[in-house]
């Protein structure tokens, strides 16, 4: 079965001959990426030349793209399976530092290399996010929330006419909210401390 038969255009999408810019728009990518895909083997209906743009058959390019993505996923799954099998073989299903110390340097090296390959592929898929990026986002969001919550008592006093006593109560509530939020984020960060620089992306 050909790629085109295996991966037809989605229902309702009509086949068409498109240029590079149109194909980039259809694939939600950039024209340089289309050039890279073409060099990697994506079929071209008509080669471009001076004053003449490249022409692509949409259905052929879509089928090629889907087939390559399927091959990539299969390769990544094979690596993930190898990592899991290696863990089971070396750790007996229990990955912890104490068990690792029982292995020879060569065995530990094999385990670390397998885990590194697995994490790298997971990061490429977007299943893992660098820890620094997540912490940076959390810090930015927490800073915005902190400023908003800290300013809430003054705003309520101005807009809602709170009394002095009510304003003090609002400040206490704001402090409680920020304290609980800070504890929650700290616990999350601590739980991911052993994550090798990566955190699982939220689904």
Rounded to the nearest integer, the mean pLDDT of the chain is 76
What pLDDT band is residue 198 in, cutting at 50, 70 and 90?
Answer: very low
Do 113 and 138 sit in the same domain of this protein? no
- Asked if 56 and 92 sit in the same domain, the reply is no
What confidence tier does 201 reach under pLDDT thresholds 50, 70, 90? very low
Please tell me whether residues 120 and 145 are part of one structural domain.
no
Q: Whole domain around residue 146: which residue ranges?
A: 130-200
Residues 56 and 114 in one domain: no
CA distance 111 to 106: 9
DSSP-derived letter for residue 139 is H
Residue 67 lies in a domain: no
Tokens of 75: 């390769």
Give per-residue pLDDT as tens, 33-42.
Answer: 999 999 999 9
C-alpha–C-alpha distance, residues 55 and 165, integer Å: 73
Q: Is residue 38 assigned to a domain? A: yes
- pLDDT higher than threshold 60 for residue 99: no
Which CATH number do you get for residue 21? 1.10.10.10
> For residue 71, which phi and psi values (nearest 5 degrees)?
-65, -40
Residue 118 backbone phi and psi in degrees, to 5: -65, -45
Q: What is the pLDDT of residue 174?
A: 78
- Whether residue 187 is found in the same domain as residue 139: yes
Q: Do residue 175 and residue 149 come from a single domain?
A: yes
Q: Are residues 117 and 138 in the same domain?
A: no
29 inside domain = yes
| Residue 26 falls inside a structural domain | yes
Which of the given ranges, 11-25, 121-135, 165-179, has the highest pLDDT on average? 11-25
Mean pLDDT over 47-57 rounds to 87
Residues 40 and 53 in one domain: yes
* Verdict on whether the full-model pTM lies above 0.85: no
Calculate mean pLDDT across residues 175-195: 67
């Amino acid at each position: 079965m050909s790629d085109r038969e295996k991966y037809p255009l989605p229902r309702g999408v009509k086949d068409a001959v498109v240029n590079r810019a149109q194909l980039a728009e259809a694939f939600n990518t950039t024209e340089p990426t289309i050039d890279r895909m073409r060099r990697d083997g994506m079929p071209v209906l008509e080669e471009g030349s001076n004053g003449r743009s490249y022409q692509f058959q949409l259905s052929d390019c879509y089928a090629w793209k889907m087939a390559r993505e399927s091959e990539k996923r299969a390769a990544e799954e094979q690596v993930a399976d190898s990592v899991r099998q290696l863990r089971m073989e070396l750790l007996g299903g229990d990955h912890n530092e104490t068990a690792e110390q029982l292995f020879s340097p060569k065995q530990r090296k094999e385990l670390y290399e397998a885990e590194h390959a697995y994490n790298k592929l997971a990061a490429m898929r977007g299943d893992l996010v660098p820890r620094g990026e997540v912490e940076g986002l959390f810090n930015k969001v927490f800073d915005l929330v902190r400023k908003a919550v800290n300013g809430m008592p003054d705003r309520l006093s101005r807009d809602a006419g709170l009394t002095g006593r009510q304003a003090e109560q609002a400040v206490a509530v704001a402090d409680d909210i920020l304290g609980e939020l800070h504890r929650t984020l700290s616990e999350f960060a601590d739980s991911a401390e052993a994550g090798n620089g990566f955190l699982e992306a939220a689904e």
